[in-house]
A and B are shown apart, each in its own frame.
Chain A
Amino acid sequence: MNSCYINSVACVSAQNTLRNDHFLEEVVFYDENIISAINPVYKEYIPPAAARRMAKGVKIGVVASAMALKEAYITIPDAIITGTGMGCLQDSEKFVSSMITNDEQFLTPTSFIQSTHNTVGAQIALGLQCKAYNFSYVNGAVSFESCLIDAQLMFQEQEVKHILVGGVDEHGAHTNNLHKLIGHIKKEPVSTVQLLNSKTPGTIFGEGASFFLLSDKKEHGSYGKLVDVEIINTIKLENIIDRVLHFLNRNGISVEDIDAVILGNNGDVEFDNYYNKLQDGLFKNTQQLAYKHLFGEYNTVSATGFWVGAKILKSQTVPNVLKINNKRSNSYKNILLYNQYRGENHSFVLLQSC
């Protein structure tokens, strides 16, 4: 199979992740349960007139995609593959609420047009005048990983050289309120430092956009290699270890070969047990890392986990704020990512230094 190199990374998030010469040295600590992505200077990437019409998710998606292309010195990619769990929530909410409030009268099309799930991918294509393959995946917590699988397939088909992949989700105020009502967002405010050990149901919600340029050839600036991805809709808790081992086996890798495991713990006492089982078992002697306390939970936050993995491979360093056990590796060759949300949509991603 053809290799798949991560040739650039770009991340817009609730942390200072806009500059790739930094890696979480200065952490922003939050005390709220809804944390927002730090706004980039949009006008550097999007004409102000266009930016005014765009919701935040579209804007940060366009910015992150532009950053990823720039770092890889690619003008127009051969494919654009975007993941979003909730889609364009702000425009959807705007259209539904005015439709209800005005009893289906006096509506304008703008927010409807921009509420479509593939708006981010479409706006990137439109901005670049990129007529290539353009897919959008919308399957909860594996939306981004579905993009990775599609990209791998494309390299296998030998049709393309450079693929832009990314994950993006934005806050919707009404949707967040509803998720508070059903306990998916914690009732009590929890700080960045406390989240992972909070021992209460629910989590904190974030938003962000992470994009990557994947290529079939290694470049000087390459971050690492995407070796394999698997998505699994449902796994019984008692089978999680077997599924991890199966994934490692199919890549000819043992637990000892994993230099760090990046886990999707989000402080939800009801669903972190999948991670805990691996932390206390299979990976108890492996360096364990977590990141959602810094970025919040959202369907495509695993793309930020992917960003963390790629940054570690290239820099061979791990920011302290990510460490959740006292095991340390001397160098980082193989990194495993495992994520799930509310016990569904599990994903394994294997990254390797190159």
Chain B
Amino acid sequence: MSKRVAITGMGIISSIGNSVEENLSALLKSKHGISRISNIHTRHKDEIMVGEITLSNEELIEQLNLPETNNYSRTAMLGVIAAKQAVVNANITNINDCKTGLISATSVGGMDMTEKYYYEYLEDNTNHKYIGGHHAGDSTHKIAEQLGITNFVTTISTACSSSANAIMLGARMIKSGKLDRVVVGGADCLSKFTINGFKTLMILSETYCKPFDRDRSGLNLGEAAAFLVLESEEIVVKQNKKVLAYIAGYGNANDAFHQTASSGDGEGATLAMQAAFKVSGLQPNQIDYINAHGTATLNNDLSESVAIQRVFGENIPDLSSTKAFTGHTLAAAAAIEAVYSVLALQNNTIFPNLNYNNAIEQTGIVPVTSIKKKNINHVLSNSFGFGGNCSTLIFSKKL
């Protein structure tokens, strides 16, 4: 199983830009996308900061040229935008010229419409079209329809590691020869459901989130979608494809500690990173940059730091969390950070960990806080979710 899995296309929409180019430009300028919330009416609007995509649903509908009768959730619209960009970027002219699949990830799904019309549905049938769009597979189905993918289509939902697992499954499907090409990624929109959920857990920061800082006070929620096109070596050669990067390794493990909290010894995260190294055949000292999960909650950043120390020992590579740019975009987070990892490889640039001042006392890990240029060959990206779900991906310039 030494077949290489090539990344040949990327698409993204996040609070720092509506395309790969816009996201790169914001990252290079250290320009974050965190603000007060405007598209959702919530009583918490003055207490939280979010990574919100400024386009309204109406603007998204117009951009996608959807009919008035459409029943797209915001998750689905963001997903379609990013997935279409990825397919264009991969120069695909006929999506079905080989065995093509779609694996998407979401945690919010159609909850934005469900919470809006929850009781209204019972009184008035105006918005009944959205009822069938609630379930998590719906946005995936719509992306498949828009891309013309009709065969292998599935959805993964493992909370905040979801799209790492979608990328992982895609890579495995290519390696095994079950698919020649697969569009992988994830989408999640902001919703009152997640805002209030994280609020009750008391892990939302009232100000700009500070990943890996001693005085971090919680996360900023965000919304985003990002997709990658993965192709087999055969397709790359046959169609003379430009390869943006390779997926070198992946690993998933369960912390088996608590439904929401990460263990103090970072066991699940450690196992996930070790599994990714095993698949890749790389050694920890070959990693040039870690794009950390780094949500800026007290619990995650400490647990992840401990895990990184367990895996890398004294020689911890340059590390940053890009969550202070985008907020934590839940099921989409690993996919947008996969795009950032590939951009780091392409531009030999480490994107800064914004808002950092002091190291966490127990671990003393100091992230990269301003743009750093250096040769980057291998990037490790972590994503962890509720239910103890821990995932690691390794991206490489060459294999």
Contact = CB atoms under 8 A, between A and B. Distances in A.
A242 B156 CA distance: 29
Interface centre among A92, A103, A109, A174, by most chain B C-beta atoms within 10 angstroms, is A109
B176 interface: yes
Contact of B154 (A97, A100, A112, A139): A139
A232 B150 CA distance: 7
A348 to B, nearest CB: 12
Given A134-B387, A234-B150, A153 B178 contact: yes
B165 interface: yes
Interface of B: 1, 42-44, 102, 107, 111, 114-115, 118-119, 121-122, 125, 128, 131-132, 134-138, 140-141, 144-145, 149-159, 165, 169, 172-173, 176, 178, 192-193, 196-197, 199-201, 252-260, 267-268, 271, 385-389
Interface string A48-92: 000000000000000000000000000000001000011100001
Contact of B253 (A103, A114, A132, A142): A132
Interface in A82-124: 85-87, 92, 95-97, 99-100, 103-105, 107-109, 112-119, 121-123
A131 interface: yes
A240 interface: no
Contact of A231 (B44, B121, B141, B153): B153
Interface bin, chain A = 35 or more
Given A99-B196, A134-B254, A153-B178, A178 B156 contact: no
Given A135-B252, A139-B154, A231-B153, A112 B121 contact: no
A131 B252 CA distance: 9
Given A95-B197, A140-B141, A174 B118 contact: yes
B201 A113 contact: yes
B187 to A, nearest CB: 13
A133 interface: yes
Contacts of A116: 107, 157, 159, 385-387
A237 B191 CA distance: 37
B156 A138 contact: yes
A85 B254 contact: no
Interface centre among B159, B253, B256, by most chain A C-beta atoms within 10 angstroms, is B256
A153 B158 contact: no
Closest 10 CB pairs of A and B: A122-B387, A112-B197, A117-B157, A233-B153, A109-B200, A138-B136, A139-B137, A140-B137, A139-B155, A138-B157
Given A125-B388, A135-B252, 10 more contacts: A96-B193, A103-B43, A107-B196, A116-B107, A126-B388, A130-B254, A134-B254, A136-B158, A139-B136, A149-B154
Contacts of A143: 137
B122 A177 contact: yes
A330 interface: no
A182 interface: yes
A273 to B, nearest CB: 19
A104 B43 contact: yes
Interface of A: 80, 85-87, 92, 95-97, 99-100, 103-105, 107-109, 112-119, 121-123, 125-126, 128-140, 142-143, 146, 149-150, 153, 156-157, 174-175, 177-179, 181-182, 184, 231-235, 299, 344-345
A232 B137 contact: no
A150 B1 CA distance: 16
Contact of B1 (A113, A157, A174, A184): A157
A131 B253 contact: yes
Contacts of B102: 233
Contacts of A175: 134
A269 to B, nearest CB: 18
Given A99-B192, A116-B107, A134-B389, A125 B254 contact: yes
A156 B271 CA distance: 21
A35 to B, nearest CB: 20
Contacts of A97: 118
A140 B257 CA distance: 29
Contact of B121 (A157, A181, A184): A181
A153 B172 contact: yes
A153 B271 CA distance: 20
Contacts of A95: 193, 196-197
Interface centre among A107, A113, A181, A235, by most chain B C-beta atoms within 10 angstroms, is A113
13 contacts: A107-B196, A112-B193, A117-B159, A122-B254, A131-B253, A133-B252, A133-B254, A134-B389, A139-B153, A157-B176, A178-B121, A181-B131, A233-B153
Contacts of A135: 156, 158, 165, 169, 252
A126 B259 contact: yes
Contacts of B252: 133-135
Contacts of B255: 131
Contact of A118 (B144, B158, B267): B158
A315 B199 CA distance: 53
Given A108-B200, A143-B137, A181-B125, A156 B176 contact: yes
A122 B178 CA distance: 28
Given A126-B256, A139-B140, A131 B268 contact: yes
A247 to B, nearest CB: 12
A176 to B, nearest CB: 11
A231 B201 contact: no
B80 to A, nearest CB: 15
